[in-house]
Structure 1
Amino acid sequence: MPTPSSRRGDIRAADTLSHTPLAAVERAIAELRRGGAVLIRDTDGSAGLAVAAESCGDATLAQLRGLASDAPVLVTTRRRAEAVGIEIPPHIARGMGGANKPVTLDLPSGVPVDVILRPTAPDQAAHIATRHLSRPIASHAPTVAEAAIELAKLARLMPAVVMGPLARDRARPWREWAAARDTLYVDAADIRGYEKLAASELRPVADARVPLENAENARIVAWRPADGGKEHLAIVIGEIDPTAPVLVRLHSECFTGDLLASLRCDCGEQLRGAIAEIARHGSGVLLYLAQEGRGIGLVNKLRAYQLQDGGFDTVDANEQLGFDADERLYWPAVTILRQMGIARIRLMTNNPEKIGQLSSYGIDVVERVRHVFPANGHNEKYLRTKAEKSGHLF
């Protein structure tokens, strides 16, 4: 039975963990998802209060106006702004850098914030922009705005936030300011470094034998970062020999394809086909990664499907929502492979981006193993787009 002193030690350890960068970002993600405000500060003293546009109602706007030093603004990605018909003035576009950097918009009184969230057909875009949204303005804190958009993406929300600007002040103790107002605080640098740090902190937390229909000699190992964030799975089939190239498949979770056998994609066939092929080979690993919808999450994937039904392809639909065509990073896969002692692999994939990322992170991809399944009549355009726009090798 734990003694009082040992329990105090546990509490101190937990308190220390709660102030780590990973824990701070995870709490900010949860706060954003539940509709709360998060104070984001960068090293130059710039700061702002961010609320997810998806959950920003009148009461939240009133709260932001009461706390911020200036009127709240709407921040989204350049792609999303252009998707709803907003023209980016040249002087602002020149300073933005990448094609998907944040755009800051005035938020006219009485305009519903969710106008920026509605899936929009091209013929509706100009009307919505003209009626509801203003021209872009220069951001008072561009790095904070960029971190806020990244936080929304990490929360698997639409990349759009309402921000309450705060006066730039290097000396102000922003953490204490936030605590006094019952508001979560997070550093912009911690948001920017979150995905790589979370991947580096992955550790195996469970390992069980799970006989599968096409691979009876299988076990599943669950990996979780120290902060308790997203879990990834390794399906290990047979006995792995890390001294030889290991047959590996990276599979991003797909609820609709893997579980429901959706005909819109080929994910379910790829999953079951990879397990069967690894079993036929005798051994290998399938990494089941928490990257639904190419990293945008299930809800946003369904929104993308709605746009696809209106005529967009799978790449354009993601970009219309304000995301990159593919938001996935494969640091978790690299960490798991390294911890399993696997440095050389035969990668079962049609996606050259996977080969490129793994190779750049030090995994030796000695061979690409083709992994192709016939179209079914519903996913022909999807597969064609992956080949033509994403460079998949069919």
Structure 2
Amino acid sequence: MLQPVETAFGDVSGEAMLISATRAATLKLINQIEAAAPRQPVLMRAADPFDLSAALAVADPALDMANPLKGPFKALPLGWEDQARAALELARMAGVLPAYLVDPQGAAEAVPLSATDVAAFADATRLQIASRARLPVAAAEDARIVAFRSPDDTREHVALIIGEQTADRAPLVRLHSECLTGDILGSLKCDCGPQLDAALHAMASEGEKGGWGVLLYMRQEGRGIGLVNKLRAYRLQDQGFDTVDANTRLGLPDEARDFPTAARMLDLLEIKAIRLMTNNPAKVDALSAQGVHIAERVPHALPDNPHNTRYLATKRDRSGHLL
């Protein structure tokens, strides 16, 4: 049996726990890391079975300061690595902590998953256009919106098209990942809200000059880790960790965005080449790897504020953004 720690409730326990290699590393569980191949999920056992309270103390880094002493732990052989990786990836996709209570006996049989199963669930080729409509917005009253949906995914992505679409002119494109805190609530911790607003106005300006623009609004909060986990990362940042280290302590990747889906959206819109608004060369590389022809990278840097100075510095110094 294998159940996510975060969604477990009541009087539950497990003989062992499955956690990611990055979370194990931040916990300094040296015996687990030495017993496992690099980046392999870690299956571990304590002196006593994990009850829910003990499991949460291991899984959630926000509880590290309240529970500084953990262990000793013993690494167990992991004869079902493929299923373990798939389970941890599903936890990320669900936006919950990547940690499971495990009954090692028969765990592989109880988790009939594989990497191919997860890939099938995330298959971007199944995405289709669901609806189109005219949508006047503050930046452009002639904007149109296109909604996309996959039969295997409840997330609904949209594209906002500004200006007249022409095949002979590459549109100005912004791939913008959903940010509730920045886009809607006006958070000053990031630059997402101002970037979104500036992108829409830049596209409107393109439209006035005979060009056009496309905003791809992707439902992948927190670079793909989900809203709750993003807020957990914020709490860790309040403790002094930067954005990269906060995600690592959570056992989650710093970059988990779905670039194949963005490429599929462009393909469905019959867009062959784009001028991409981004400061991130890795985003250029990721979209290019999906077959998107990027005719130009258009810088999209905005002034910082006292609350996001460190966030932008981390983007520049650790993630390679050109700021």
Q: TM-score, normalised by structure 1?
A: 0.75
Q: Does 1:129 align with 2:40?
A: no
Corresponding position of 1:4: none
Does structure 1 retain, via aligned residues, the 8 Å contact 2:17–2:100?
yes
Report deviation, 1:85.
Answer: 3.3
Give the one of 119, 139, 149 matched to 1:193.
119
Corresponding position of 2:233: 304
Q: Which amino acid aligns with 1:250?
A: L
Report deviation, 1:118.
Answer: 2.9
Distance of 1:91 and 1:350 partners within structure 2:
38
Corresponding position of 2:255: 326
Report deviation, 1:188.
Answer: 1.8
Report deviation, 1:243.
Answer: 3.0
Distance 1:150 1:366, change over 3 A: same
Report deviation, 1:238.
Answer: 1.5
Distance of 1:52 and 1:348 partners within structure 2:
38
What per-residue deviation string (whole Å, max 9, x for no partner) do you get for residues 142-190 of structure 1? 2111111111111111111122335499xxxx7xxx8xxxxxx753244
Distance 1:196 1:89, change over 3 A: closer
Does structure 1 retain, via aligned residues, the 8 Å contact 2:173–2:214?
yes
Report deviation, 1:330.
Answer: 0.4
Corresponding position of 2:174: 249
Secondary structure at the aligned position of 1:221 is classed as strand
Corresponding position of 1:145: 84
Distance of 1:250 and 1:145 partners within structure 2:
31
Q: TM-score, normalised by structure 2?
A: 0.91
Distance 1:56 1:263, change over 3 A: same
Q: Which amino acid aligns with 2:49?
A: S
- Pairwise CA RMSD of aligned residues? 2.2
Corresponding position of 1:19: none
Secondary structure at the aligned position of 2:130 is classed as strand
Distance of 1:244 and 1:53 partners within structure 2:
50
Distance of 1:128 and 1:152 partners within structure 2:
26
**1:1-394 mapped onto 2 (5 Å cutoff):** 49-61=1-13, 72-89=15-32, 91-93=34-36, 96-98=37-39, 101-107=40-46, 108-109=48-49, 111=51, 112-120=54-62, 127-130=68-71, 134-167=73-106, 187-194=113-120, 196-197=122-123, 199-282=124-207, 283-394=212-323
Report deviation, 1:215.
Answer: 1.3
Distance of 2:96 and 2:65 partners within structure 1:
25
Report deviation, 1:135.
Answer: 2.9
Count residues in correspondence: 316
Report deviation, 1:221.
Answer: 1.0
Distance 1:267 1:52, change over 3 A: same
Does structure 1 retain, via aligned residues, the 8 Å contact 2:31–2:74?
yes
Unaligned stretches of 5+ residues in structure 2: none
Report deviation, 1:90.
Answer: 6.2
Does structure 1 retain, via aligned residues, the 8 Å contact 2:33–2:42?
no
What per-residue deviation string (whole Å, max 9, x for no partner) do you get for residues 202-257 of structure 1? 11112111111111111111100023522111011111113322211000000000
Report deviation, 1:58.
Answer: 5.0
Does structure 2 retain, via aligned residues, the 8 Å contact 1:73–1:162?
yes
Distance of 1:193 and 1:281 partners within structure 2:
37
Q: Which protein is bigger by CA-based radius of gyration?
A: 1
Distance of 2:100 and 2:120 partners within structure 1:
19
Does structure 2 retain, via aligned residues, the 8 Å contact 1:150–1:191?
no
Give % identity: 40
Report deviation, 1:261.
Answer: 0.5
Report deviation, 1:92.
Answer: 1.4
Report deviation, 1:110.
Answer: 5.6
- Which of 368-377 and 238-247 deviates more? 238-247
Unaligned stretches of 5+ residues in structure 1: 1-48, 62-70, 179-184
Distance of 2:88 and 2:96 partners within structure 1:
9
Distance of 1:343 and 1:118 partners within structure 2:
43
Does structure 2 retain, via aligned residues, the 8 Å contact 1:152–1:161?
no
Does structure 2 retain, via aligned residues, the 8 Å contact 1:56–1:113?
no
Does structure 2 retain, via aligned residues, the 8 Å contact 1:83–1:122?
no
Distance of 1:58 and 1:281 partners within structure 2:
57
Distance of 1:50 and 1:154 partners within structure 2:
17
Does structure 2 retain, via aligned residues, the 8 Å contact 1:200–1:335?
yes
Report deviation, 1:141.
Answer: 1.5
Distance 1:220 1:128, change over 3 A: farther
Distance 1:263 1:115, change over 3 A: same
